[in-house]
Structure 1
């Protein structure tokens, strides 16, 4: 029988066959601290899964989440420092985050907003949403609005359409970007009504899909992505480098190839943020740089995202990929090809 309910507790995961009873018995403190939600679609895929499988590690709670290291922080990328009104994060001059809700279809165990999302988290009421939209409306330097949260595609199509229409009516807003896990976690939600809600007349809508492992790109997920692409919506992806999930060059290669084949351009590969209880997921920066370096030459530029680090404290993203160039304009440069062979590149010639 097809499942229809999201599992929101340890008991729900056990009943669905996604979590062994003996494991659940040791996870009460984890469930008390961090939200649990696994959609019916994912429950079908997690039934009987090994605890250390790539999907189980991402979606099922673990006792390792109780191990908090000194460098971890509740707001690892510093959203609060850049929030002038509720629901807005204005870190960069030309773009803002708009966080309309706190709910997600699934609560990933590595989430960098895990202290803020879930039941009881802040969501915008009608007045607060109006104030957030007014903030954007009154600032002509805001060119891009990034809908995040929570997952913005969890909004009803009616409410989503109202927000999109309001933003589309602002002449200075050129791009409305949605960050979502929905095509991977609840692909049936990509409906005709949702696609209609994303239609615009002046600005451009982009969708950034969060996907971390090639096993997440099922027939249902690729069909949902095709609906978005066929509706004329450009698609990019965001992935997080996760130990035990995708910290392998062959896995990353397969992931990015499958995304591109599904008409999704790999955009960012995030280094793991310093969210509480996520140390077991984080790789070292040197390890991440080496993995990204190994992708050079193995896959085309279409398949290569930027490896980035969100600087703790709210200072924004920085590219941290491998360096291929050394030297200077006076003495000349040395550039390394994808095989690791170094080549001279001449210095700048002064104009006569």
Structure 2
């Protein structure tokens, strides 16, 4: 990693450590990037071809992590468009997760019965080139003002089945503490909302945003979980570790969702190194997402066999805490499913030598038999007492 002072001479330490300064001075033009390091032809074309279709924005902090000498640097690939981003790919969808068909209010996506996605804005500190919600974060819809958020809270209040609200966007942590406190306070006042989650890339792209004051603010709305988005161990800097530590020390659990990106992190070595490092940050690796079918991301998507192969290599070679769920968010708004390698070889049929059991393979390829118990009634008699019904 280059010392940031080499690329940003004249910037005072206090300015560099100010998250607002980082957001205000995000690099938003090809010229600003070219002043830091030479751009490749594919990058110059990508910047030109995507200028009108998707925002460009890279915080100075995140830009300081870019390897200027290697076009395949994982930070570079996530932050700077290449010409392939402007080319279509089979299966591309404007709304890859089918969210718009489930938006009863502008700021609410309600696909699952008991939980909603709450869109708190359309802006980010860094505009990731693999963004799945680029129709929103690209500025196509316009910003989300106070009335849009109040309408969303009113919808949540009117639907008592909603127990879990995921606040996302855009990145909610581009908002000032006061605006964030206002929104979280409204949601926490809804009696049936049990859990709040906040999805943010700030610990990765602008870790200065996580201040002691913010950590204490979020703790007040517990149970609240922060869901962040590290994709590569190169993002696991001391600043990122400090940001995660502030949250965890304040009592705010942090979990990570990675996206599998071809040529960026699409090997077991990369996923294992990242997740083992995150565990030292006290961040739980949760999901490894198969790339969504968002327009402009085809060059970064992997075949499903890639993710399955990674999980196969991880099992038995790192702790279970470092092995994420491989998740596929199905097109058309059908929801998220998880997949894994098949460790189950098959069932031994009744009447055979091994009747009433299943054959498995271990991560080393060895076979093992697990017998079923003779009694297969899995009912729980105490349910009727505990739940107060006739279950």
Q: TM-score, normalised by structure 1?
A: 0.94
1:228 to 238, 247, 270: 247
Between 104-113 and 186-195, report the one with greater CA deviation. 186-195
CA distance in 2, matches of 1:108, 1:80: 21
Deviation digits for residues 295-339 of structure 1, max 9, x if unmatched? 001111111110010000000001122121142485421112121
- State the Cα distance separating 1:351 from its structure 2 match: 6.7
1:145-164 → structure 2 map (5 Å cutoff): 145-164=165-184
1:180 to 185, 193, 200: 200
- State the Cα distance separating 1:16 from its structure 2 match: 2.8
| Cα distance change of structure 1 residues 21 and 13 upon mapping to structure 2, 3 Å threshold | farther
1:105-116 → structure 2 map (5 Å cutoff): 105-116=125-136
Count matched residues: 351
Matched, 1:124 2:114: no
1:36-55 → structure 2 map (5 Å cutoff): 36-46=56-66, 48-55=68-75
Q: Residue 342 of structure 1 corresponds to which residue in structure 2?
A: 367
| Cα distance change of structure 1 residues 329 and 97 upon mapping to structure 2, 3 Å threshold | farther
Contact in 2 for aligned 1:10/1:31 (Cα 8 Å): no
Q: Residue 296 of structure 1 corresponds to which residue in structure 2?
A: 315
Q: Residue 142 of structure 1 corresponds to which residue in structure 2?
A: 162
1:318 to 337, 340, 349: 337
Q: TM-score, normalised by structure 2?
A: 0.85
Contact in 2 for aligned 1:16/1:47 (Cα 8 Å): no
Between 189-198 and 140-149, report the one with greater CA deviation. 189-198
What SS does structure 1 have at the residue aligned with 2:337? Answer: strand
What SS does structure 1 have at the residue aligned with 2:70? Answer: coil
| Cα distance change of structure 1 residues 121 and 14 upon mapping to structure 2, 3 Å threshold | farther
1:272-311 → structure 2 map (5 Å cutoff): 272-311=291-330
Q: Residue 11 of structure 1 corresponds to which residue in structure 2?
A: 31
CA distance in 2, matches of 1:312, 1:80: 12
Contact in 1 for aligned 2:45/2:82 (Cα 8 Å): no
What SS does structure 2 have at the residue aligned with 1:73? Answer: coil
- State the Cα distance separating 1:12 from its structure 2 match: 1.6
| Cα distance change of structure 1 residues 26 and 68 upon mapping to structure 2, 3 Å threshold | closer
CA distance in 1, matches of 2:309, 2:219: 41
Q: Residue 78 of structure 1 corresponds to which residue in structure 2?
A: 98
- State the Cα distance separating 1:27 from its structure 2 match: 3.2
Which structure 2 residue ranges, 5 or more long, are not aligned? 1-8, 351-356, 378-391
* Deviant stretches of 4+, over 4 Å: 20-23
- Across the aligned residues of Structure 1 and Structure 2, the Cα RMSD in angstroms comes to 1.9
Matched, 1:243 2:262: yes
Between 62-71 and 326-335, report the one with greater CA deviation. 326-335
- Larger gyration radius, structure 1 or structure 2: 2
Between 13-22 and 24-33, report the one with greater CA deviation. 13-22
